[in-house]
Structures are given as C-alpha cells and as structure tokens.
Amino acid sequence: MKQYLELLQDILDNGVAKSDRTGTGTLSVFGRQFRHNLDDGFPLLTTKKLHFKSIANELIWFLSGDTNTRWLKENGVSIWDEWATETGDLGPLYGAQWTAWPTRDGGTINQIDYVIDCLRNNPDSRRILFHAWNVEFLPDEKLSPQDNVRAGRMALPPCHLLYQFYVANGRLSSQLLIRSSDSFLGLPYNTASLALLTTMLAQQCDLEPGEIIICTGDSHIYSNHLEQVREQLSRSPTTLPRLEILRRPASIYDYRFEDFSLSGYHPQPHIAAPVAV
C-alpha cells in the first residue's frame, strides 16, 4: 500500500486549506489515482490496524439493500451511527440505490443483478457499472443528516459513487470513483471494500480477481487528523494479508462474514481519530 502512503504525503505537501460541510477544515488536493494488483495480497493497511469485520459486514449490508443501522449494530458495526435517526434510519443511500433504483413507473432496478448478468453473458461490455448518485434523493447540505432522512432524502450523499468493471483474460478488474475522500479514515475502508467486492463478484462469475483502481476527486485530510497522518507515515508497511473465501454462496447476496478468512494480517497498532460529522 505504498501508493496510499504516498497520497497522504502528497496531501500534506501540496494540499490547499479548504472549508467543508462539517466545519472541521481540511487540506485538499484534487484528482488522484492509485492501483493494486490483488495477486499481491489483500489491500488491508498494515501501518495501522483496520477492523476487517466492519468492512465486510458493511459491504454485506449494502448488498442486502438495507438502509437502517439495526443489522449493522447487531453485527458489531457502529460506523454509521452518527448519521442515523433515533430509529436507525439513513434514508435511501447506497444499498437502496445499488439494489432498488426507483423507476418512473414505480418499479425498481437492481444494478448489482445487471452487473452480474453482464459479467456472465457480456463480459466485453463497456457498460458494466453501477452507481449511487441519484440526484432526486441527495440531501440538502443546509439540513442535518437526520432532518434529511425525515424529509425522505439520504443522510449523506454518496462518497464512493461509481463502480466500473472490466474483464480480460479471465480476470476481473474494477475501478471506483470517490468524489470526496476522507483519506485517513475513509479511504482505507473503501479500498478494502472494493477489493472484497471484486473478489466476491469474481467467484460468482467464474473469474479470477485482477486489479483494483481507486480514483479520488477531492482527496483530503481533516485538520484534526494531521498528527495521526504523520504518525502513520512514520511507520513502514509490511507484507499484506491473504483473503480466502471458504464457500461459494448461491448468490452475491448470500455471503456471511464467516465466509471470509484473512491470514497473515499483522498490522501495527490502531491510530484513533475523530470522525467529522
């Protein structure tokens, strides 16, 4: 994950001070990319410990179409709590748009089903993608996340918003566009989640995992994360872990956390940092 650490250093060296929705302030650069070949290991940071259970269960939750935090909390994941209403609702964000994009006739489109059908039956298509940027349901930035949910909108607009897939020589590669990238806290989760999703789709479609590519728009470090970033950059990365999927579920929607085995993950200690709400 050397490229990720180089991005953090780039932001420290070249970032412009900008205001933001949370009022915290950031250092920001625009338009960056890094790549990782999944043959080289599973891209879970070793310069600080990440909670793989949260990453995997969040992805399972997205794929289920759920938009309430209840299931997440029952499965040890609290990363969405700050934005939810008192009943756990988050509005029609990621999972709703991935699996039940509303149509003009009152129906829905499951974009994940579409992707899998293309991967199996039309793998040379240049349209194998899904996204969550549904303009009708984007939140009003002047309102709190909870008030947006009560108004029928998303608690937050999608950050990781467009996923595209590419098949060549029996290998599945993926590219993710992140419009707003919290580079210390969020980006490592997004990277590992993309790698996990790519591996799951490859298994479902009889392909081998290939390369993941992350493209970031506004790539930033919050002003209250600067010391934590410097601490991380003082550490040297070690060998990446390996991911094994222990069974092949009937569909992309039937994976459980227990299906994933991560071996050789020996990270350096966790680095705590506050979430900008």
pLDDT at 274 over 90: no
Q: How confident is the model at residue 22, as a pLDDT? A: 86
Q: Is residue 152 part of a domain?
A: yes
> Is the pLDDT reported for residue 233 higher than 80?
yes
Taking 80 as the threshold, does the pLDDT of residue 277 lie above it? Answer: no
Would you place residue 29 in the very low, low, confident or very high pLDDT band (cuts 50, 70, 90)?
Answer: very high
For the chain, what is the domain count? Answer: 1
Containing domain of residue 191, as a range?
A: 2-258
User: What does the pLDDT average to over 102-111?
Assistant: 97
Closest by CA position to 119, among listed 220, 209, 18, 235? 209
Predicted local confidence at residue 90, as pLDDT: 98
- Catalytic site residue 159? yes
Residue 235 lies in a domain: yes
Task: Determine the Cα–Cα distance for residues 83 and 156; give it in Å rounded to an integer.
Answer: 8
SS3 track for the chain = CHHHHHHHHHHHHHCEEECCCCCCCEEEEEEEEEEEEHHHCCCCCCCCCCCHHHHHHHHHHHHHCCCECHHHHHCCCCCCHHHCCCCCECCCCHHHHHHCEECCCCCEECHHHHHHHHHHHCCCCCCCEEECCCHHHCCCCCCCHHHHHHCCCCCCCCCEEEEEEEEECCEEEEEEEEEEEECCCHHHHHHHHHHHHHHHHHHHCCCEEEEEEEEEEEEEEEHHHHHHHHHHHCCCCCCCCEEEECCCCCCCCCCCHHHEEEECCCCCCCCCCCCCC
Domain membership flag for residue 275 = no
pLDDT at 93: 97
Is the pLDDT score of 129 beyond 80? yes
* Whether residue 111 has pLDDT greater than 80: yes
pLDDT(134) > 90: yes
Binding residues for dUMP: 21, 126-127, 179-182, 190, 220-222
Say if 269 falls within a structural domain.
no
What is the residue-averaged pLDDT of the chain? 97
pLDDT at 266 over 90: yes
Binding residues: 21, 51, 126-127, 179-182, 190, 220-222, 276
pLDDT tens string 187-198 = 999 999 999 999
The predicted model gives 31-52 an average pLDDT of: 97
Residue 206 is predicted with a pLDDT of 98
Q: Is residue 277 part of a domain?
A: no
pLDDT of residue 65: 98
Q: Find the catalytic residue in 118, 159, 205, 215.
A: 159
Q: What pLDDT is recorded for position 4?
A: 97
Express each pLDDT in 247-265 by its tens digit. 999 999 999 999 999 999 9
Asked if residue 263 is part of any domain, the answer here is: no
pLDDT at position 63, please? 98
Tell me what the mean pLDDT of segment 204-223 comes to: 98
Confidence of residue 48 (pLDDT cuts 50, 70, 90): very high
pLDDT reported for residue 275: 85
Identify which of 84, 105, 93 has the alpha carbon closest to the alpha carbon of residue 147.
84
Residue 21: predicted pLDDT: 85
Q: Is 42 within a domain?
A: yes
Q: What is the pLDDT of residues 74-106, one digit of tens each?
A: 999 999 999 999 999 999 999 999 999 999 999
Predicted structure pTM score: 0.97
The enclosing domain of 118 has a CATH number of 3.30.572.10
5: how many CB neighbours lie within 10 A of its CB? 18
In a domain, 264, yes or no: no
205-211: average pLDDT: 98
